[in-house]
A = this chain, B = another copy of it.
């Protein structure tokens, strides 16, 4: 049965993770064995109205589902685990990850139902698991979420080091520094391929330690003992939240946690021992007004300006328990992800209007990145000394900048592979080269529907949004070839009808004339009739208004 081992190739293909909205999914395949590394979701672009989430197309995996030996997760961020609730509907394979990663995942999976219950297997950094022909070692790294790992994947052709998202933090909050030694050992043993995080490849130097944020917070708390302090940050940044809690306790403040995802993740992190909260420090949001403001810290979601997040509700006075006033100091302990700047600014302006003070990352050092900058990226490359290199995680420009770093370190140009979605990179004893292209792409999630929204639906939504809609309805007696009711005109999103009655009357006359001229000429083919009405109306409307609403003629017959 087994093919000759010599003809087998190691294949690496990305089904996600190569655009602005990063949804990571990497497939590693050899013969009859496949492992999946991460399975993330992305958020829709502006040109996808109504779409909730974007997940990778997994057609290729579904076709090869009998080969899949396991799903390996590097850490618990949405863009690495978020697609699992959808992908697990069609793919059954055991899942491996560290305890916090799986804790966050369980929480997420509990909101969905599955025909076959997903199997989650805990591993610890340092562990090696066997998955078919592969063995996968988890290596501790630093990142903006605790319990993150890189992977060393042993294959018959050679070793793959997959960095996951990482940074080098020499003074991490939990004392656990990225395992640089292990990367060095692997480098000495020989690494075939390094796949490494490119997010910050444009940035020179080093990403500061998470501890830096703690020092800034301490300074701010010291100078603002008369203020209520409200801090918005990423809910998954367990160490950030821990630091805020520690500083608050030190300054005798009670801490309120608000926002759904913040409550969820803090719950999981405490339960699993990734966070320790001194007795009596946490209070419920309903108790917030029982203490004077200067004895309160509020940790909240909404650092990206998300509409209806807890901070948004505070800013726009929708929050039930927290009313912003001039005694409040709001700290945005986060950077605005590209595309969110205007939303964030809108919230800041509102908070200022309510008399509060607002500190942003750009003005005080209250945020550090979770991703490696150039010197760190070079360090990982220097330690692992890979034969081949594939920059991953980031926009195309980040991959290119990461490539420039590799060239600078002396890697031959021919050994660097810039990935493309679905494009297989093949390895054998002779070397590496691009291979076949497998199905890949975006699957859109809207409400309960996964993948039922395609380009035509999106195009219609964009058209409707731009200039609105005009519906023309008429009933025709096909025997007598006469118009027996209508045409009636209904418009939405076009003009305010009450103020444009004349225009609507003119449109009705044009539609009627178009219909009658068809009927008089014995044209009763619906397509012709509708096209005539549509053309005449759209010409008239454009001449009058310079707009092109969607025109929907509906002709009924009796």
Instruction: Give the interface of A toward B (CB within 8 A).
Output: 20, 45-46, 49-50, 202, 338-339, 341-342, 345-346, 348-350, 352-353, 358, 362-363, 395-397, 400, 446-449, 452-454, 456-458, 460-469, 471, 473-475, 484-486, 488, 490, 492-496, 499-500, 544-547, 550, 552, 554, 556-558
Contact = CB atoms under 8 A, between A and B. Distances in A.
B492 A460 contact: yes
Contacts of A345: 20, 338, 395, 397
A18 to B, nearest CB: 10
B50 A468 contact: yes
Given A452-B496, A457-B495, A558-B485, A465 B468 contact: no
Nearest to A349: B396
A519 to B, nearest CB: 16
B341 A475 contact: no
Contact of A397 (B20, B349, B493): B349
A274 to B, nearest CB: 33
A250 to B, nearest CB: 28
Nearest to A550: B492
B202 A50 contact: no
A400 B475 CA distance: 61
8 contacts: A20-B349, A50-B493, A345-B397, A353-B396, A448-B547, A452-B500, A453-B495, A464-B492
A454 B49 CA distance: 21
A452 B499 contact: yes
Contacts of A449: 495, 545-547
Nearest to A556: B485
Contacts of A447: 467, 545-547
A461 B349 CA distance: 26
Contacts of A556: 473-475, 485-486, 488, 556
Given A49-B466, A545-B447, A457 B494 contact: yes
A546 B46 CA distance: 21
Given A352-B396, A453-B495, A464-B461, A545 B448 contact: yes
Nearest to A542: B447
A475 B468 contact: no
A499 B457 CA distance: 12
Contacts of A400: 352
A493 B342 contact: no
A554 B342 contact: no
A328 to B, nearest CB: 14
B558 A46 contact: no
Contact of A552 (B46, B458, B492, B499): B492
B46 A46 contact: yes
A225 to B, nearest CB: 20
A465 B484 CA distance: 34
Given A460-B492, A468-B461, A202 B558 contact: no
A343 to B, nearest CB: 9
Nearest to A348: B397
A152 to B, nearest CB: 30
A490 to B, nearest CB: 6
Nearest to A343: B46
A339 B339 CA distance: 6
Given A345-B338, A352-B400, A454 B547 contact: no
B552 A490 contact: yes
Contact of A339 (B342, B350, B488): B342
